[in-house]
Amino acid sequence: MKSMTERSSVVRGPWFVVWAATGLASLIVALGMTPVAGAAANLATDHGPRTTDALKPNVIFITIDTLRADHLGCYGYKQIQTPSIDALARAGVRFTQAYTPVPITLPAHTTIFTGSYPVATGMHDFSGNKLAANIPTLATVLRDHGYTTAAFIGAAVLDARFGLNQGFDTYDAPFDFSRLDESSLDLMERRGDVVMNAALKWLAGAAGSSSTPPGAARPPFFLWVHLYDPHYPYTPPEPYASRYRAHPYDGEIAFADSQVARLVAYLKQHGLYDASLIVLSADHGEGLGEHGEKTHGFFVYNSTLHVPLILKLPPSAEGAAAGPAGPAGRVVTAEVSLADVMPTVLQTLKLPIPPSVQGRSLLSQALGRTAGGASVLYSETYLPLLHFGWSPLRGFQSRGEKYIDAPRPELYDTHADPRESKNLYPSRRSLGHEMHDRLYSSVRRFTPASGNATIGREGAKEATDPALLERLRSLGYVAISSGAYTEASGKPLADPKDRIQVYELVSEAMSDGQHGRYQQSLSKLRQAGKTEPASFAIRYLAALDEYHLKDFARAASSFKSALELDPKSSLALYYLGLTQLEGGDQDGAMASFEHSLEIDPTNFVAAFDLGAAYLKRNRIDDAVREFERAVRINPSYARAYEALGEVYLYQKRNDDAIRSLERAVQLAPGSSKAHYNLGRAYQAAGRVADAEREFGAAKSP
């Protein structure tokens, strides 16, 4: 049963949606089994001394994940009630044609907060991505100019380890990646009211008087609230579930709107609303079945690229119209990009815009002045290539003309055909070629010079970042022209349009697996495998199902088969090790864990399991070494501290045992075993009262 405050055993999206949007490693994030370092709150980064010449307006940033612009009342949708967002639009400036460059959560948010396109930041996907520390973010700039900064995150896909925590004094993303069983799925996302509770609690301290001496000016604050609720599956709480029973996606949006209302009400009640800069946007939209895409990330149609963008300017904005809240009710119909948001915020605050920023400020348009140039509407998805071996997609849009570079190119008139249902490319090839050239001119313009490398066939160039190039090489792909790839054998890659049914079939299989329907999942994966017999993803997921079905012999064979396609998959090696352990092959398991750690040294769970395997072989020193490695990688991994404490007790290293077990109890206060062993350690040290307390805690329910 779901609690009143959090949804238990729910990850936003079926397994495959999570995996496809985040990379294969993040599938296991969703399962609570991820062998990577856990999240940490309050991850402030020192970006040098803070300086400010004058008190600046507060900045409140709200991103609502997976929110289509055309599903809001203020954008003309009649089947929903979103009074809070609609009111914000009436009080500010609404952009009717705002677009994300990538329909995936992490890279889209990276664009918002760096003002740069994925080809510049290298953030194309989830797996294998971390924002470089030398790329300025909105938070780092504001922090350096005297702002107190805080973020409250609704989903693990924006965990601190991906790098967007840079510049935040507080980065509240309390997701536990150290759990192994599926009951921890509810910890991978937080419902909007839980996120807002945390944000308002922080706001009460940051904007209150408790930490500010009487008469002293409070520093301005930058608050980012991320609401994940409209992400699949759509399960809004009451009364929205009943009110929107036929349209649960809309129910999730209406619930998110209610959380926006709470934030706006707080700001108004405490005199913070009028003078603040408020930004509301989405990271991407949702397919909702258009073009066969139920969710997002696979295609670059405007169903997933078109997003809402609303700015409520402070009266201090240069030339703002009269009135306490600046220009109100203005509508801007020009096409703009999410890359434009950061420079707009900085110009509004009269702060310098870093030279790395590639978007343009929209302040002149927001104030009703001249447009000041055109935004670049570049779009991309590498999901089909990186996770299935199908062609990537790149797009370019300008003044209603939309080009998608694919094995079968597409061209649309989005003014006459907003659903992009009629491909004009066959009849308008000349315009298609012109748009192709404009697309790759933009790619070359925004790609760092070091990324314009020659790879693949002689003379072929692909302008992209070096990390992605290396990743594609490792997967066996070569560029034959800008944007076009083949397998190393020269075999052309499939057009994603021809594989959407397979994609959705695997998506359904992963949803089945998430809910414990492993046999049904396996059946669908085998069906998908008939179309894609050499798919690492399908083989790997089938092996996971076989593992859960306890068919360990077949699972081991399937993991080995998957590794033939991708020998460097640390996760496949890790799960092969688990499978080998279950099958009684301890030597094979230890070899698999060791190999997994060689490929991915952050796999703290593999280090723990390797230590446990050593312990079974009575290799005590080796076991201690691996348990210690696990806690070095993830200092919040309670199981490893507990194991270390037990081994230290065995070795009669009482002081070490006490330290480790105290940490285990601190991290996992509900662990009876940790309390009991800590009691033993205290008893051995002669601390009788402490021992009795821990023994009592071990017996408590």
Residue 477 burial (CB < 10 Å; 0-12/13-18/19+)? buried
pTM listed for this prediction: 0.84
Give, to the nearest 10 degrees, the angle between helix 620-633 and helix 638-650. 150
The DSSP letter of residue 231 is: S
Element (H, E) at 610: helix 604-616
Q: What is the mean pLDDT of the segment spanning 612-629?
A: 95
DSSP annotation string for 71-128:
GSGGGT-SS---HHHHHHHHHSEEEEEEE-S-SSHHHHHHHHHHS--HHHH--SSSTT
Q: How far apart are the first and last CA of the chain?
A: 21
Residue type, 164: L
pLDDT of residue 5: 32
Quick count: other Cβ atoms within 10 Å of Cβ 449? 8
- The answer to whether 379 and 396 are in contact (CB under 8 A) is yes
**Distance of alpha carbon 89 from alpha carbon 543, whole angstroms:** 49
Q: Which long-range contacts (CB under 8 A, 24 or more apart) does 463-466 make?
A: 463/119, 464/119, 465/119, 465/120, 465/121, 465/122
Q: Among 652, 657, 655, 629, which Cα is nearest to 642's?
A: 657
Per-residue CA distances from 546 to 517, 574, 585 (Å) = 11, 15, 17
- Tokens for 214? 């009487």
Proportion of the chain above pLDDT 70, given as a percent: 81
pLDDT over 50 at 505, yes or no: yes
Rounded Cα distance between 629 and 109, Å, is 32
The model's confidence at residue 290, banded by pLDDT at 50, 70 and 90, is very high
35 confidence band (pLDDT: 50, 70, 90): very low
pLDDT in tens, 68-126: 999 999 999 999 999 999 999 999 999 999 999 999 999 999 999 999 999 999 899 87
Average pLDDT, the chain: 85
Per-residue pLDDT band for 487 (boundaries 50, 70, 90) equals low
Percent of the chain residues topping a pLDDT of 90: 70
Max intra-chain CA distance, the chain? 88
CA distance 568 to 598: 10
- What integer pLDDT is reported at residue 194 of this predicted model? 97
Pinpoint the alpha helices (H) of 133-173. Answer: 138-144
Nearest to 583 by CA among 605, 559, 615: 559
Q: What confidence tens digit (pLDDT) does each residue in 75-84 have?
A: 999 999 999 9
Burial (CB count <10 Å: 0-12, 13-18, 19+), residue 398 = middle
For residues 391-407, give the mean pLDDT.
96
Tens digit of each residue's pLDDT (9 = 90 or more) over 304-315: 999 999 999 998
